[in-house]
């Protein structure tokens, strides 16, 4: 937990009835030269909100994140997931969703963490709409603090999502902390940059244990870590040890 005060607040908050399905945001459109755009978009006008938050940089497409969406959809059974990819993986979709319908949310995209100005941190979703027009796809940390997201689990499959400024006894001001404020009980986040392909392998093992084998999130995390640790390709700790679970470890599963 970010702090004991955060844990106390989570346990004091009444538990909202949760749904059974997962929502998944994966493989957004970041760049003007993305082949999913109907025509070349004007790069000079792209992503104004992103430029306002950090120096503009080239954000590569995360093709492997689409695999996360397919895995979750294939393992969800009768609980039909909400899969938002491409242009549908948008900031507006996050802000407008009725999160009381879902058991969990999975974000597979880029995070931008500003340690000097934590309020400029956030999650990058699609920076263009389906017509190729620039769109505000930057979910700011302030947006997260204003969400009502009473879900059991949020998974942040992105680099440094557990990182942030640590001013003192209240712990780290990270993206994970913002989701606790929004109502999430538990958050899986990362302590350092993660390899795109290793992350996809990790999430396959994690969701197989979580959704098919019905394990609790903390148990599913251990299974996924052990799976990669025992593999020939991903056995180095850099590939699997970044993933941590934060939140109320006594929370009953919403599934």
Q: What is the pLDDT of residues 192-231, one digit of tens each?
A: 998 999 999 999 999 999 999 999 999 999 999 999 999 9
The predicted structure's pLDDT at residue 103: 93
| Average pLDDT of the residues in 86-108 | 96
> Of 252 and 130, which is predicted with more confidence?
130
| Average pLDDT of the residues in 47-71 | 73
Distance, CA of 120 to CA of 50 (rounded, Å):
9
In the predicted structure, residue 54 carries a pLDDT above the cut 50: no
């Amino acid at each position: 937990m970010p702090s004991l005060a955060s844990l106390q607040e989570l346990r004091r908050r009444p538990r909202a009835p949760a749904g059974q399905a997962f929502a998944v945001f994966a493989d957004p459109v970041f760049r003007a030269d993305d082949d999913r755009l109907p025509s070349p978009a004007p790069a000079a006008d792209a992503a104004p909100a992103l430029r306002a938050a950090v120096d503009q940089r080239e954000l590569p497409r995360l093709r492997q994140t689409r695999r996360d969406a397919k895995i979750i959809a294939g393992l969800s059974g009768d609980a039909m997931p909400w899969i938002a990819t491409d242009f549908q993986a948008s900031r507006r979709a996050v802000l407008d969703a009725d999160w009381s319908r879902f058991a969990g949310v999975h974000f597979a995209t880029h995070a931008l963490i500003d340690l000097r100005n934590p309020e400029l941190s956030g999650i990058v979703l699609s920076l263009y709409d389906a017509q190729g027009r620039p769109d505000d796809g930057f979910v700011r940390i302030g947006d997260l603090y204003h969400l009502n997201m009473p879900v059991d689990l949020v998974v942040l499959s992105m680099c440094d999502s557990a990182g942030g400024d640590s001013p003192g006894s209240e712990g780290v001001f990270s993206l994970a902390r913002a989701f606790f404020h929004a109502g999430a009980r538990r958050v899986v986040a990362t302590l350092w940059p993660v390899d795109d392909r290793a992350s996809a392998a990790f999430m396959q093992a994690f969701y197989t244990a979580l959704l098919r084998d019905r394990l609790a999130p903390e148990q599913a995390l251990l299974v996924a870590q052990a799976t990669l640790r025992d593999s020939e390709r991903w056995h180095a700790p850099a590939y699997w040890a970044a993933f941590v679970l934060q939140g109320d470890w006594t929370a009953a599963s919403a599934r």
